[in-house]
Amino acid sequence: NAGVMQNPRHLVRRRGQEARLRCSPMKGHSHVYWYRQLPEEGLKFMVYLQKENIIDESGMPKERFSAEFPKEGPSILRIQQVVRGDSAAYFCASSPRTGLSTDTQYFGPGTRLTVL
């Protein structure tokens, strides 16, 4: 059973460009979470999505950042007009949300974004 897939693993962008990060959840998982890890810091929650729905985007910066999880295809985290402060590792996690009392999140390998 393949784990959570993320691509690209490394992404280099110049200031002002757009970055698109993709995440394919584990098979059977319909819930996706994005986290950001700045250098020398812990992971911070950004957004929680189900298929075609954003459930909680309270951790997302108000501007330039958006996320989607379409009916078909991977979840996309999009950063417009990137700035140097966006340089970080972006991790995606997925969970099955079975309705049981506990729901474990499984993480992908991350995308390391470098803004020049």
With respect to another protein, which residue has the nearer C-beta, 42 or 85?
42
The two beta strands, 10-13 and 111-115, are parallel
Which of residues 16 and 61 has its CB atom nearest to another protein in the complex? 61
> What residue ranges bind another protein (CB under 8 A)?
4, 6, 33, 35, 42-45, 48, 56, 58-59, 89, 91, 93, 95, 97, 100-110, 112
Closest approach, Cβ 16 to another protein, in A, equals 27
* Least distance from another protein to the Cβ atom of residue 19, Å: 18
Shortest approach of another protein to residue 98 CB, angstroms?
9
Secondary structure class of 34 (helix, strand, coil):
strand
How far is Cα 44 from Cα 37, in angstroms, rounded to an integer?
Answer: 6
Nearer to another protein, 62 or 72 (CB): 62
Query: Strand runs (DSSP E) across the chain, as ranges?
Result: 5-7, 10-13, 19-24, 31-37, 43-50, 53-56, 65-68, 75-79, 88-95, 106-107, 111-115
Q: Quote the least distance from Cβ 105 to another protein, whole Å.
A: 6
